[in-house]
Amino acid sequence: MPIVKTVSRAVSQLLQSSGCGCGISLVPVRCIGVSPRQVASDASFHSVSFSESDHPRVLITGGLGQLGVGLAKLLRKRFGKNNVILSDIRKPADNVFYSGPFIYADILDYKNLREIVVNNRITWLFHYSALLSAVGEANVPLARAVNITGLHNVLDIAAEHNLRLFVPSTIGAFGPTSPRDPTPDLCIQRPRTIYGVSKVHAELMGEYYHYRYGLDFRCLRYPGIISADSQPGGGTTDYAVQIFHDAIKTGKFQCNLKPDTRLPMMYIDDCLKATLEVMEAPAEALSMRTYNISAMSFTPEELAQEVQKHVPELLVTYSVDEVRQAIADSWPMNFDDRNARRDWGWKHDYDLPELVTTMFSFLGSDSRIAQAN
């Protein structure tokens, strides 16, 4: 096991000898309806009680990104609000802060992260902290620190405390020498972005820790994820989110990819469902630790045509970003996800028409949409 196990024993002994091993969290968790002073003085907040004792205790890192808030909502509905802690290094919006426990967690601060896991009896960890593709290319040192060094901290802590660990991968884990149509689970992976390299690294390190230390590591390769709940965050596939916002606000959309650039995509509800399903799947059902998942594949032109059924006057132009286009041209056009469908019953719900209709049902209160419909 990692050296941190030895450190863990020493720290545990020190806490017990100093009278601090009382099970009360010293981490400032926000629980709705309970003041910080009450939390600090009430040991039952962190003790096993009622039916929640049967559920996992969940920590989500990087929780204010595109997927974390939605995942927290899904998991809280399933496991109980107080069993799911959302974390990030940024200040959350009020609606996020008051929806359930939120905590400051910096994945580059090993000691802080380890304290959170111990003090809150975490059993499942969803590691979403990462810099996305285009943002990572603009700041490689920061991407290397967050995506790789942060991962190492999470792996060591997860192995030390026997956590079930989920780390998302991505279409960006493939490169121009990978088969693109379709891309299987196992093939050549030679990405040309720091984001992609870090994701291949995460896949391999997670599998290594599984076989070397018995870590219950689980990973899905996400396609481009489309959500109405968050703004685009610097990813190459973010055009597929931006088009809806621009269609409603201005009726004009300028795409930074070529019109015939085909990429695999997925609506966020399918993505979150797949994430929960693979985490709940029996270990013996998993023939591998990293799976492709897919729902649909489309081009900017095909998406624009579907959007124009709701906003006929939408004007679409193309101004190609060479960096993003080069990234997209190295990525899969279609995912082969037969292993996920066979092993743990993965099945998507949203195809392109349902995706577009659903996005406008969340975003489309504008009079332009109402008139079009």
* Catalytic site positions: 195
Please classify residue 53 by burial: count the beta carbons closer than 10 Å to its beta carbon, then call 0-12 exposed, 13-18 middle and 19+ buried: exposed
For the beta carbon of residue 357, count every other beta carbon within 10 angstroms.
14
On the 0-12 / 13-18 / 19+ scale of CB atoms within 10 A, 360 is buried
Q: What CA–CA distance (Å, rounded) separates 326 from 225?
A: 19
> Are 158 and 208 in contact, with CB atoms under 8 Å apart?
no
Do 231 and 244 touch, CB atoms closer than 8 A?
no
> Would you tell me how many other CB atoms lie within 10 Å of the CB of residue 250?
11
Length of the chain in terms of residues written: 373
DSSP H or E stretch at residue 357: helix 352-363
